[in-house]
Amino acid sequence: MGKLGISIYPERSTFEKDKAYLDLAHKYGFKRVFTSLLQVNDDKEKVLSDFKAVVDYANKLGFEVMVDINPELFDQLNISYDDLSFFNDLGADGIRLDIGFTGAEEAKMTRNPYGIKIEINMSSGTRYVDNIMSYSPNVNNLLGSHNFYPHRYSALGYNHFVECSKQFRQYNINTMAFVNSHDATFGPWPTQDGLCTLEEHRDLEIATQVKHFVLTGLIDDITIGNAYASEEELKTMSESFFAENPKIKVDCLDSITEDERVVLFDNLHRYRGDRSEYMMRSTMTRIKYKDLPFPKTNTPDMVRGDVLVDNVGYGQYKGEMQIALKEMKNDGRVNVVGKISEDELFLLDFLKPWSNFELIENN
């Protein structure tokens, strides 16, 4: 099972606030912490002792702490890639290389005596991981994580994300990507329009971002890039990540009946495998509720994302739930009872035939 993560930035906050955030994330089953040590500007000893205090507290709660660093920091702190004792002393479980070396160094670093994990950048689209693999790393200590992008419109496009992620998947390397909190106010740098991996996620609810990553099947761990997410966001993120089945939001129309509401929201739906280009069918509801009336109510022509229940005019199909995938004419036998919420419409592309899903009412 993958893990959920949060990000903390000790040099831009206080120990008390970080501690409270760690406690909250722990409550909702989060297991990873991402933090960055990209520059040590002030008094080196003070920065490192403040940093260590937070890392120690996270370790005490059972978090796995990954520290983001760049090669310049190795020079600045006088650390060599073949001696990772500094990070062991810091209490880090792993280090993320913001910018990598040549491949040989990374492979060597995975064979350190402390079991420190080496997390490499997944977003560059080069053959970087193939290069590291050619130097025979200890794959158990090698992880991949995508970047996050504080500048609006600069994050990854979906196709590039898929290509990069598949490179890591082929070696069974653990993968991680970032989602964006809308209640968080800061990241590692002064400027930020949120901190996400995929540009299309930037303005979506955090739960929707998570559902998308889960449905791609390409990402093991998901981390919130900015701090601090609200308790509500941590809760809905956890629910979406650990849910047995994806839950897709529906905006109900005023015409929906109580019986139709039961069909939509009180059932586990299965996307029928002999699929049509026009609709996703969940056929068990017509058997389960065959004795209910389902009178004709609202029957306009249908567009993609419309949630449908066949009415009494459709004979043996009465009570079947469907989701429209493209435009269809309505001859009066199909009630349009709701619409997949605009922000989750794209998730229909990720539901696979024979997979289960649930519908939930959008507040």
Task: List, as one string, the DSSP characters of 260-314.
Answer: HHHHHHSS-EE--SS--SSEEEETHHHHHTTTS---------B-TTEEEEE-GGG
Tokens for 225, please give them.
């890039």
Q: In this structure, how many other beta carbons lie within 10 angstroms of the beta carbon of residue 53? A: 15
What lies within 8 Å, CB to CB, of 155 at 6+ separation is 148, 149, 196, 197, 198, 199, 201, 202
Output the pLDDT for position 215. 97
Burial of 277 (0-12, 13-18, 19+ CB in 10 A): exposed
How far, in Å, CA of 320 to CA of 305, rounded?
16
Beta strands in the chain (DSSP E): 4-8, 32-36, 64-69, 94-97, 117-121, 142-145, 174-179, 221-224, 247-252, 269-270, 279-282, 306-310, 321-324, 334-340, 356-361
Q: Give me 201's structure tokens.
A: 């996620």
Q: Which residues of the chain have pLDDT under 50?
A: none
Question: Residue 87 belongs to what H/E stretch?
Answer: helix 85-90
- Strand (E) or helix (H) holding 24: helix 15-27
CA–CA gap between residue 83 and residue 116 (Å, rounded) = 11
pLDDT of residue 39: 67
> Checking DSSP bridges between strand 247-252 and strand 334-340, what pairing results, if any?
antiparallel
DSSP β-ladder status, 306-310 and 269-270: unpaired
Reduced to 3 states (helix: H, G, I; strand: E, B; else coil), residue 209 is helix
Q: Give the DSSP H or E segment for 18.
A: helix 15-27
Q: Which long-range contacts (CB under 8 A, 24 or more apart) does 156-160 make?
A: 156/123, 156/197, 156/198, 156/199, 157/198, 157/199, 158/198, 158/200, 160/123, 160/125
State residue 78's pLDDT score: 84
Contact by Cβ (8 Å): 322, 282: yes
Look at the domain 4-243 and name its fold: TIM Barrel (3.20.20)
pLDDT value of position 81 = 84
Q: What is the pLDDT of residue 38?
A: 67
The pLDDT of residue 133 is 97
Kindly report the CATH number that applies to the domain delimited by 248-361: 2.40.100.10
Domain ranges of the chain: 4-243, 248-361
Claim: this prediction has a pTM higher than 0.85: yes
Compute the Cα dihedral for 48, 49, 53, 56 and give only its sign. positive
| pLDDT the model gives residue 230 | 98
Q: For residue 176, give both structure tokens.
A: 């991680």
